[in-house]
Amino acid sequence: VRLAEKFTLPVVTLVDTRGVEQTRAAEEGGLGAALASTLALLSRVRTPVLAVIVGEGGSGAALALSVADRVLILEHAIFTIASPEEAALALHGDASRVDEVAEGLRLTARDARELGVVDLIVREPQDGAHADPDAAASLLRTAIVQELGVLATQRPSRLARRRYSRYRRTPVYQNFFRVSLGRNLGDLRRVVQARAQQWIPERLRSGAPEPEEPSIPID
């Protein structure tokens, strides 16, 4: 990264990791310090930084490589704070309950875009990147070249300031609650409409009189 900054070259990271190794040996080997230094370095380096989630983007390892001016994600890739297996184990003590927690993690590319943690979803071939790697690479190359072309027009010092500010004000919580509230209101609206459509015809068929206004005693 420092070499790229010295020669004014862009930094492109390709992220595909389930997360950090959670062992004592990894911690004693300085894994935590390495992640922290990478986060700090990418947040202030004065050269364009582009991150691409190409497979699994899990936990702090993915975050350390995704502090960028623009974050791209392949259509079928995932980006999450923890792998579904880790989340199931932490929440339920049972790693086999993956499907139960996966939806709540909101780890798909579309979820990440809605939450504002990625900027662009890169389309994959019809059957997925694994089915046609050459076509997937071509699509990704086009997206990377376009993004770097835009970033190259901006001053490096400004890029660094904007990148730092972006991650200081990540709008995850604001967008998360807005999206969640919108979905909940939509579900509630559909339930009310369905019950109204069922109840009104029944009332009309039964010919039941309208309920009288309750009388209010006057002293």
Residues 73 and 144 reside in one and the same domain: yes
Q: List the domain range (segments joined by +) for residue 198.
A: 173-206
Per-residue pLDDT reduced to its tens digit, 152-177 = 998 888 888 888 888 776 654 444 44
pLDDT at res. 100: 77
Q: Does residue 215 lie in a domain region?
A: no
Comparing 44-58, 96-110, 197-211, which segment has the lowest mean pLDDT? Answer: 197-211
Residues 186 and 147 reside in one and the same domain: no
Q: How many Å is the Cα radius of gyration of the chain?
A: 25
pLDDT at res. 144: 94
Q: Does residue 212 lie in a domain region?
A: no
Residue 83 has pLDDT above 60, yes or no: yes
Q: Residue type for 55, please?
A: G
Number of domains in the chain: 2
Q: Which one has a higher pLDDT value, 129 or 177?
A: 129
Residue 185: which pLDDT band, with cuts at 50, 70 and 90?
low
What is the Cα 99 distance to its own chain's centre? Answer: 18
pLDDT at res. 49: 93
Residue 127 has pLDDT above 70, yes or no: yes
Q: Does residue 41 lie in a domain region?
A: yes
Q: What is the DSSP string of 49-100?
A: EEEEEEEEEEHHHHHHT--SSEEEEETT-EEESS-HHHHHHHHHS-TT-HHH
Long-range contacts from 164-168, C-beta under 8 angstroms, 24+ separation: 164/43, 164/44, 167/43, 167/67
Q: Residue type for 3, please?
A: L
